[in-house]
Structure 1
Amino acid sequence: MNNTENNKPHKLHRTTLIIGAVSLALIVILGILYFKNRSEMKVLVDEMVQEKEMLTYEFENLALDYDSLQTSSDTLNTMLEREREKISHLIEEIQTIKATNASKIREYKKELTSLRRVMKNYIVQIDSLNQSNKALQEENQQYKKKVTTMQSTYSKLEVVKETLQEKVEIASKLETFNMEAEGLNSKGRSTRRTSRISKIRICFSIQKNITAKVGEKNIYLRILRPDGALLYHSKDDLFEHENQKINYSAMRTIEYGGQELDVCLYYQVDAGELTGGEYIADVFADGRNIGTLHFNLN
């Protein structure tokens, strides 16, 4: 009886020790599991943070890739700007979410893939447009070269034309020969005494010229006295020479047919108008001086 009673406390003490040992073991095991899980969780969280940072980095690189796209198309530029704004908003959103929000991270990854695919499509379009622009630029350069060549040819032809016109003008200029001057008295007799001269007659021959224009021509005569004064009767007696109007002493209209032609012009002298010395007679036609003669009167 006593042995039984003595064994009871011993068994109770032994049970308590076993329970305590088991509890301690459980506590130790639970502690180990807790710290192990905590460590694993920390590693997982760190990985998710890195994944978020990497995702942000990839979106930023994508934004730079979009910024590098250049095109001359206003429509494409508008669409590219829209994509850039979208990427900028997504970067801001990613920075605000928690790294542990796995579902959101997956959504952004899908969006990143989609945006990359869209960008590749834009690259193809821009490359095609650039190729077309390059072809147009080359075609434009060829066109400019042709235009430059044509302009150069035209300029040369203009020079040739002007040269030919000058030659034609020179060739068509009337020329005189056998010019003679004579003073006539009131009876039509020849005299060189200025006091007796009532008319001055200038005669000459116009050379044959088949390139000159035929038809009526006005022949003008200018006679200068020894003192350089022009002999003329009216200030209204004018003709055009070298783009200005000048007076003439006498004028006659002839019919020129391209063949040699003899012509005489007369100047009616006013009383006391003449002086002794050397006179100069110039003949004009078609706005050009076609003959000059120096003669003396006493």
Structure 2
Amino acid sequence: MENQKSNSSLKAIIVVLAILLAGSLVYMYKMSSDAKSTETLLVKDKESAMNDLAALKTKLDAAIAENTSVSDELIAEREKVVKLMAELEKSKGDIASLKKYQSQYNTLNAKFNALAKENGLLKDQNSLLTSKNDSISLALGEAKKFNDTLVIQNENLAKTVEKASKLTVMNLRTEAIKEKSSGKQVVTERARRADKLKVCFAIAQNEVAKSGNKLYYVQIIDSKNNVLGEKKTEAFGDMSLTYSFTTTVAYENKAVDVCEFLDGNGVDFEKGVYYVNIFDKGTLVSKTSFTLK
């Protein structure tokens, strides 16, 4: 009887111990599962925090690349982000550390947003100033074009006035003259009878030209290519002119006729073609030819 009671008590104890062991195993399993879940969650949180910091660094790099007036502040913030990323990488990733890094990230992100806003305002102001400068440059460009047009018009006008003020020498004619003892002059075509050459020309009326004395150089070349008369030489820049004589005309803006004589000085004129040229300084203004037989 006592043995039966003893066996019943032992069985009861074994059952209780089994129940306790099972409960302990379940509790340990649950604790282990919770620990693994917590570890997995902390790893994800750490990766998320690292990704946030990396994204913030990328935005800072892009903002710094714009090279604005807040670039120095942005560089300082980027250094803080890089330092925080290095610390997070070395950390064990416990809850307290993650909370600290999350708080620092929030602070850095807020500072970046403030700098980005300031940078945006500066960019808007710069854009406005650029637009104004472009408008001013355009206006100055238009003014320069207008001024250049006026300069060209003035130059053209000056050229027109200069051209219009040039005197026109016309009706150039030359005759061989035989002067009789009575003083009467007779036109001849015979070289041996000629005593002198008469050169006449006219200057046209020109109200634009400047009035006053006008000097002309007369060049007469005989059939043997000799310059007759004074044979003096005058230089005009790179050009030199050998002339027969000069004539000074008092010009008063009205048409005027001019006649001059070249004496043979007792020397017979050569037979052949003669060339007569009128020069205004170094510019040929009229020419003709005639023949003596």
Q: TM-score range by the shorter chain?
A: 0.7 to 0.9
2:159 counterpart (146, 163, 166): 166
Residue from 189, 206, 209 that aligns with 1:209: 206
TM-superposed deviation, 1:74: 4.5
More off after superposition, 74-83 vs 50-59: 74-83
TM-superposed deviation, 1:119: 1.7
Aligned to 2:31: 37
Q: Which residue of 1 aligns with 2:256?
A: 261
Q: What do the CA deviations read for 1:228-281 (whole angstroms, capped 9, x no partner)?
A: 5655755x62243xx642313122344433233333445566887953222222
> Alpha carbons of 1:107 and 1:284: their partners in 2 closer, same or farther (altered >3 Å)?
same
What is the aligned-residue identity percentage? Answer: 22
TM-score by length of 1: 0.79
| 1:293 lines up with 2:288 in the alignment | yes
Q: Which amino acid aligns with 2:32?
A: R
Q: Deviations over 1:79-99 (max 9, x none)?
A: 323333332232222122112
1:114 paired to 2:110: no
> How far, CA to CA, are the matches of 1:13 and 1:26 in structure 2?
20
Residue 69 of structure 2 aligns to a residue whose secondary structure is helix
The worse-fitting range, judged by mean Cα deviation, of 193-202 and 28-37 is 193-202
Are the aligned partners of 2:241 and 2:282 in contact in 1 as well (CA < 8 Å)?
Answer: no
Q: Structure 1 46/222 Cα, relative in aligned 2: closer, same or farther at 3 Å?
A: same
Indicate whether 1:76 and 2:70 are aligned. yes
1:286/1:48 CA distance change after superposition, 3 Å: same
Deviations along 1:140-171, one digit per CA (max 9) or x if unpaired, are 33233323323332333333223322321222
Q: Which runs of 5+ in 2 are unaligned?
A: none
Change in CA separation of 1:65 and 1:36 when aligned onto 2, cut-off 3 Å: same
Report the CA distance shift for 1:213/1:105 in structure 2 as closer, same or farther (over 3 A): same
Q: Distance in 2 between matches of 1:110 and 1:273?
A: 124
Secondary structure in structure 1 of the residue aligned to 2:278: strand
In 2, are the aligned partners of 1:193 and 1:297 still within 8 Å (CA)? yes
Q: Mapping of 1:4-19 within 5 angstroms?
A: 7=2, 18-19=12-13
CA distance in 2, matches of 1:111, 1:81: 17
Shift of 1:174: 0.8
| Secondary structure at the counterpart of residue 237 of structure 1 | strand
User: Residue in 1 aligned with 2:233?
Assistant: 237
Shift, 1:62, TM fit:
1.4
2:147 paired residue number: 154
Given that 1:174 and 1:285 are in contact with CA atoms closer than 8 Å, whether structure 2 keeps it comes out as: no
Q: Distance in 2 between matches of 1:11 and 1:184?
A: 185
Asked whether the equivalents of residues 176 and 206 of structure 1 are also in contact (C-alpha less than 8 Å), the reply is yes
Q: How many equivalent pairs are there? A: 288
Paired residue type of 1:54: S
Q: Partner letter of residue 108 of structure 2?
A: L
Alignment check: 8 A CA contact 2:223 2:274 kept: yes
User: 1 CA distance for matches of 2:282 and 2:238?
Assistant: 10
1:276 to 271, 278, 285: 271
Stretch moving more, 192-201 or 145-154: 192-201
CA distance in 2, matches of 1:212, 1:286: 16
Shift of 1:17: 5.3
Cα contact 1:219–1:253 (8 A) shared by 2 = yes
Matching of residues 44-123 of structure 1 within 5 Å:
44-69=38-63, 73-99=67-93, 101-123=94-116
The 3 A distance-change label for structure 1 pair 21 and 175 is same
